[in-house]
Amino acid sequence: MTTAAPSPSTPTRVAVLVGSLRAESVNRRIAESLRDQAPSGVEVQIVDGLAALPFYNEDIDGDAAPAPAVELRSAVAGADRVLVVTPEYNGTMPAVLNNAIDWLSRPFGQGAISGKPFAVIGATPTPYGGKWAHEDARRSAGIAGAVVLDQVVVSQSTIDTDVLGDPQVFGRLRDALGALVDHQVEAA
Ligand SMILES: Cc1cc2nc3c(=O)[nH]c(=O)nc-3n(C[C@H](O)[C@H](O)[C@H](O)COP(=O)(O)O)c2cc1C
């Protein structure tokens, strides 16, 4: 049985994890533009505080988990969808994003990301647009229990491209958010 995405009267909340901490991050600007231009009925929340997350360590997890981890889990648990917007570092996802997924994956089987429809987009200044990072983030989130949407991934090269200024290019990124929001959630 399937149920529709939340009805128009109930906003669909999308938690966005940005894989770059850089102040001038292109990926952060993509996330901010998607938030600022979100369609009606969609609330996009960029989850801040990933830099304050300690590296995942089972010794510090549990009832007294660190505040940044509690805040991250709460933001994602309260969302209907999760979107990652990330560059690629050394052929994979940046450590800050990997660490966030690790925190979201525990308790095992009941992590905040578990059961959440999940998609990845991002941009890098190479011809491949960060596709290995995007593949790895999708695989990792899937193992953590997220519902990774098969077709919803955009790995955008920024070479000779104004990602935010080119309507076709930005349109593809916006369409990915739309497809994530429109995904039909399987009823329990
Ligand atoms: C440590 C490091 C490793 C990188 N490795 C890759 C890589 O493997 N593939 C790639 O496409 N870009 C790589 N880049 C370039 C980033 O994609 C580029 O800096 C990008 O603009 C970062 O995104 P941002 O603007 O959102 O910070 C790397 C950058 C850094 C700092």
pLDDT, tens digit, 9 for 90 and up, residues 97-149: 999 999 999 999 999 999 999 999 999 999 999 999 999 999 999 999 999 99
Residue 70 covered by a domain:
yes
Looking at residue 180, what is its pLDDT?
98
> What CA–CA distance (Å, rounded) separates 98 from 142?
13
Going from the Cα of 96 to the center of ligand 1, the distance in angstroms, rounded, reads 13
Residue 5 covered by a domain:
no
Cβ–ligand 1 distance for 54 under 6 Å, the answer no
Cβ–ligand 1 distance for 91 under 6 Å, the answer yes
Residue 74 covered by a domain:
yes
Range of the domain at 20: 10-160+171-183
Would you mind telling me the total number of residues written for the chain in this entry? 188
Quick check: 83 and 121 in contact, CB under 8 A? yes
Residue 103 covered by a domain:
yes
Work out the pLDDT band at 8, boundaries 50, 70, 90: low
Judge whether residue 186 has pLDDT over 80. Answer: no
Residue 165 covered by a domain:
no
Looking at residue 7, what is its pLDDT?
58
Residue 33 covered by a domain:
yes
Work out the pLDDT band at 185, boundaries 50, 70, 90: confident
Going from the Cα of 60 to the center of ligand 1, the distance in angstroms, rounded, reads 30
Cβ–ligand 1 distance for 49 under 6 Å, the answer no
Phi first, then psi, for residue 14 (nearest 5°) are: -115, 120
Going from the Cα of 72 to the center of ligand 1, the distance in angstroms, rounded, reads 24
pLDDT average, residue stretch 8-36:
95
In terms of DSSP bridges, do strands 12-18 and 42-46 run parallel, antiparallel, or are they unpaired?
A: parallel
Q: What percent of the chain stands above pLDDT 90?
A: 92
Angle at 41 between CA 40 and CA 45, to 5 degrees: 100
Residue 188 covered by a domain:
no
CATH number of the CATH domain containing 114: 3.40.50.360
Number of domains the chain is built from: 1
Q: What ranges in 45-184 are assigned the alpha helix state H?
A: 67-77, 95-104, 131-143, 167-182
pLDDT average, residue stretch 47-55:
97
